[in-house]
Homo-oligomer: A and B are copies of this chain.
């Protein structure tokens, strides 16, 4: 442990300064870097490789559900952005405007897409004529620009990468089902592949997407008790269709408005992975999205047969896993520390004595548990370890979240909880924005989501004491 301890000191411990711990990891694991455009980031190879793995899994899920990928333009004419009233109000303050091309002034300003509802609507208005043209289930992978005042790696930046799904349907019911289907797809992805426990719910009117009838959200608690909105799915009703004059001939040959949805998940989720699973030695990555799932480190590399055996293991494992053999001249201690920092789930150490015994040392990144794995059954051993690894990650995060899940029946309860640690606060709410504003102003907590379950703590709003309508999860948001 001696050598590692020394290297580990390069990261601030999370107990000392959580924000610094976070940016230290981002920097040391070489996930991203700032560019010299304010608030714009560079996704470095290791960070981008995580995003590529996320893309691969989600893209497969989307296509399996019948979605097709498209690419809409990067630019939106001002007149198009203005068509839906709530939408323009929500996004106008933070869009980047293109006014000139070469040395010429443009006749109409164009904004860089902050999101692409308006572009999809314009396209649908030309393509949808009959009920036979419906539904259309589209998705695109791209980056968008929102001129945020502050920025933090992955969590908030002027440009960020995401996918945005946009669908259009014959009936209200079909569109609502699509909204829920994609909402559940995100929830399952977070829980199963990213091992992140999440709370599923609906946004209040104050917090919903600009132009949506309802927004469904998954909310995850980070190590520091603050809450990260991790994916959203919106039901638009026919609002955008009316604004963009999208009509189709229905099954009774009458003109009708279709119904729309949109849903998105962004590189923000990488920030969520870091702050859910990371520790004071660096990143801890769930195997499904780890760029390197297994690192092989030869011990006493110059002894005869060691490197050969390591290569043999590498060649077998690479058929099934993303595996790397580090045969560089660094010391084993340096390598241990390096790949712990990078969050590689499994480390295999192989030295002369191991070879003699037909085994290797297997070390789990999450709990540093060491075991001996027989070389003739390595694949099966690894499969089992990955299953346990994922279960432990999820359980640990769930226990942490449950330990910071508290209830407030009164404003005094809120005040008391907020003076302690961040976390989720479950509380009844009357449905009025005024009460949300009071909690926001006085205690800096916002409504994260309205519970979808029929659960209840009391009959009265914790803020105003009037009749409660919903159970709401509150917290300090990222």
Contacts and interface: CB of A to CB of B under 8 A. Distances in A.
Interface stretch (A18-26, A30-38, A375-383, A394-402): A30-38
A98 B97 contact: yes
Contact of A42 (B45, B70, B95): B70
Given A102-B94, A123-B33, A147-B102, A74 B44 contact: no
Given A98-B96, A101-B147, A35 B70 contact: no
A73 B41 CA distance: 6
A96 B103 contact: no
Contacts of A98: 96-99, 112
Interface string A50-90: 01100000000000000011111111110010000000000
Contacts of A36: 77, 80, 122
A295 to B, nearest CB: 17
Given A96-B101, A97-B99, A71 B123 contact: no
Nearest to A59: B52
Contacts of A143: 71, 74, 142
A263 interface: no
A334 to B, nearest CB: 14
Given A35-B72, A71-B48, A145-B74, A97 B101 contact: yes
Contacts of A123: 33, 35, 42
A49 interface: yes
A33 B95 CA distance: 25
A449 interface: no
Interface residues of A, number: 52
Contacts of A42: 70-73, 119, 123
A92 interface: yes
A37 B110 contact: yes
Nearest to A137: B45
Contact of A95 (B43, B44, B48, B102): B102
B74 A159 contact: yes
A251 to B, nearest CB: 16
A75 B71 CA distance: 19
Contacts of A119: 35, 42
A102 B92 contact: yes
Contact of A76 (B37, B51, B147): B37
Contact of A96 (B40, B45, B100, B122): B100
A310 to B, nearest CB: 20
Contacts of A45: 68-70, 138
A2 interface: no
A96 B76 CA distance: 13
A150 to B, nearest CB: 14
Contacts of A304: none
A165 to B, nearest CB: 13
A161 B71 contact: yes
Given A93-B102, A96-B101, A103-B93, A75 B147 contact: no
Nearest to A291: B68
Nearest to A95: B102
A396 to B, nearest CB: 31
A76 to B, nearest CB: 7
B96 A71 contact: no
Q: Which residue, A37, A51, A112, has most C-beta atoms of chain B within 10 A?
A: A37
A37 B74 CA distance: 9
Interface string A4-15: 000000000000
Contacts of A101: 94-97, 147
Contact of A37 (B33, B71, B75, B142): B75
Contacts of A94: 101-102
Contacts of A103: 93
Contacts of A33: 123, 126-127
Given A74-B145, A96-B101, 12 more contacts: A33-B127, A35-B123, A40-B73, A42-B70, A44-B70, A45-B70, A48-B68, A48-B69, A73-B159, A74-B112, A75-B145, A97-B100
The 10 closest A-B pairs by CB, nearest first: A40-B73, A45-B68, A101-B147, A43-B71, A97-B100, A93-B102, A99-B99, A35-B73, A96-B98, A37-B75
8 contacts: A44-B70, A74-B74, A95-B101, A96-B101, A96-B110, A98-B98, A99-B100, A112-B112
